[in-house]
Amino acid sequence: MKILIIEDDTILNKTLSIGLKKLGYSTDSAFDGEEALILFDLNQYDAVILDLNLPKIDGLEVLKSMRKTDQLIGVLILSARCEVDDKIAGLDNGANDYLTKPFHFGELDARLRALTRRRFIQANTTICHGSLELNTSLKTVTVNGRSVKLTKKEYGILEYLALNKNKVVSAEELVEHVWDSNVDLFSNSFKVHIFSLKKKMAELNDGVDIIKNTRGVGYFLMEVKDENSK
Amino acid sequence: MKILIIEDDTILNKTLSIGLKKLGYSTDSAFDGEEALILFDLNQYDAVILDLNLPKIDGLEVLKSMRKTDQLIGVLILSARCEVDDKIAGLDNGANDYLTKPFHFGELDARLRALTRRRFIQANTTICHGSLELNTSLKTVTVNGRSVKLTKKEYGILEYLALNKNKVVSAEELVEHVWDSNVDLFSNSFKVHIFSLKKKMAELNDGVDIIKNTRGVGYFLMEVKDENSK
DNA sequence: TTCATATCTTAACTTTAATTTAACCTTATA
DNA sequence: TATAAGGTTAAATTAAAGTTAAGATATGAA
């Protein structure tokens, strides 16, 4: 878990950094609002610890700016006891939490855990086409429950075809989307990949081709009937 | 959310009760320490608002007594002064917070939300994936009851994978979240760590790999069947 | 502090699997 | 039937991941 610590007090910043590292977090430190936003743009954080009294750019401005690009990230606001006023309280929209100084590290850890957890509530993203099912999170493929192991390129081709179901996709378009831009379009690497992909997919479907080609036009996915609905 | 209001000033008690009900909380009111403890034993509260100057049983005694049966419940202490004295500060075990009179309802609401979040935090200390269990508070790992000792980096990698169960995570993303930003992405430190982590996890699981890799894509956790459910 | 130990990083090397290449085959259709 | 698009196979290449040991750092106890 990577935490961005935004705190201008160098000693407290260091203390937080050392303490959190002991707890197993990795941390980056920013000492003013400007530095904070630069680091925030550059890296992927799981949570942010934010002091509101900052040089250069005010803490509340930093918070607003971060929220523009990331609605999900949890922000833990550090504030002195007696300092929590309506301004801060009003910010509590669920993505923020606050902690009053002085605090216990155990408490900080617990709150960070709660804040970071929210980012990982994820829906499983699947693309379906008849009984063909692609899980884009796991990059796995099943046909009527049976699964194959595909290589990265094979999966990439199949996913692009599945995204363009009910459409014929030219070999050029497939190569363009699955390979990076400096690939040689005239090599027959693509032919080899689509060959092995077609073979693997047919094996999953009792030997019947799922990926078809229309000469001179391109490739498309056949709709595979669900075995249960036969 | 049910709040127990312990406050002998009948007007303030009533004000709190009405105000909190407006905010969507349900409340019970106690006007002395004895009544407070009876209500506390009888009902399940999500947080307690406690004034320290109470008739019959002193507020601090009430707090101690409640702590005997419930270490976790959040207690918001109402105090007259801004400076929290040592006696009260010494009681701060993380489960308490303070609010000085006079206060704004917005602030009270924010603090109550922070206190009640504790229940959520507590409920989310473990990450389960089949029979693999991570305790994010203790940073411990078990598979079917058996446990391993992991280093910080190993635990960090495993936790990130566990939070992203049902997703393939690239080596780059893992490094990005487990190491801080000054790390050299091209070093093979990561490879060494994941190697030893994979080995330790497989040893826990009768030699069968739990952490798998898809070449060119990334790492993911296999679902480990619960031995009891076999 | 110092020393012992655990953890992390580095570097050289091995293994494995994906990808590309090249040569050849098949088939539709102009 | 000539030709170009597409299919097939095996081998070569390349890149990713795995492995080991040694050296550097950090951590914690005496």
In the predicted structure, residue B14 carries a pLDDT above the cut 80: yes
pLDDT of residue B100: 74
**Per-residue pLDDT tens digits for B105-141:** 877 887 887 777 766 666 668 899 999 999 998 899 9
Are B198 and B209 spatial neighbours (Cβ–Cβ below 8 Å)? yes
Residue A188 approaches strand C within 7 Å at CB: yes
Average pLDDT of the segment spanning A12-32? 93
pTM: 0.81
B75, B77, B4, B63: which is closest to B39 by C-alpha?
B4
Contacts of B93 in chain A (CB under 8 A): 104
Mind spelling out the 3-state secondary structure of B74-99? EEEEEECCCCCCHHHHHCCCCCEEEE
Which tokens go with B149?
Answer: 């000792």
**Per-residue pLDDT tens digits for A78-100:** 876 555 554 555 455 556 777 77
**Per-residue pLDDT tens digits for B154-191:** 999 999 999 998 999 999 999 999 999 888 777 899 99
Asked if A113 and B121 come within 8 Å (Cβ–Cβ), the reply is: yes
Average pLDDT of the segment spanning B48-52? 89
Chain B from 8 to 37: CB within 8 A of any A CB: none
A214, A188, A117, A58: which is closest to B126 by C-alpha?
A117
B118, B6, B132: which is closest to B62 by C-alpha?
B6
Dihedrals φ, ψ of A84, to 5°?
Answer: -70, 105
DSSP labels, A78-125: EEETT---HHHHTT-SSSEEEEEES--HHHHHHHHHHHHHGGG--PPP
pLDDT of residue B80: 66
Chain A from 42 to 71: CB within 8 A of any B CB: 42-44, 46
User: What distance in Å separates the CA atoms of residue A106 and residue B2, rounded to the nearest whole number?
Assistant: 26
pLDDT of residue A34: 94
D26 C1' – B155 CA distance, angstroms?
A: 18
A107-116, B86-95, B205-214: least confidently modelled range: B86-95
**Per-residue pLDDT tens digits for A148-176:** 999 999 999 999 999 998 899 999 999 98
B64, B48, B60: which is closest to B16 by C-alpha?
B48
Q: Which residue is nearest to nucleotide D27 (CA to C1')?
A: A22
pLDDT of residue B137: 85
Neighbours of B117 (CB within 10 A): 18
Average confidence score pLDDT of chain B = 85
Contacts of A100 in chain B (CB under 8 A): 97
Average pLDDT of the segment spanning A65-86? 77
Residue ranges of alpha helices (H) inside B3-58 are: 10-22, 33-42
Q: Which residue has the tokens 């602030």?
A: B107
Neighbours of B74 (CB within 10 A): 24
Q: Is A168 exposed, middle or buried (0-12, 13-18, 19+ CB in 10 A)?
A: middle
In the predicted structure, residue B31 carries a pLDDT above the cut 90: yes
Report, in ranges, which bases of strand D sit under 7 Å from a protein C-beta: 5-10, 16-21, 27-28
pLDDT of residue B82: 46
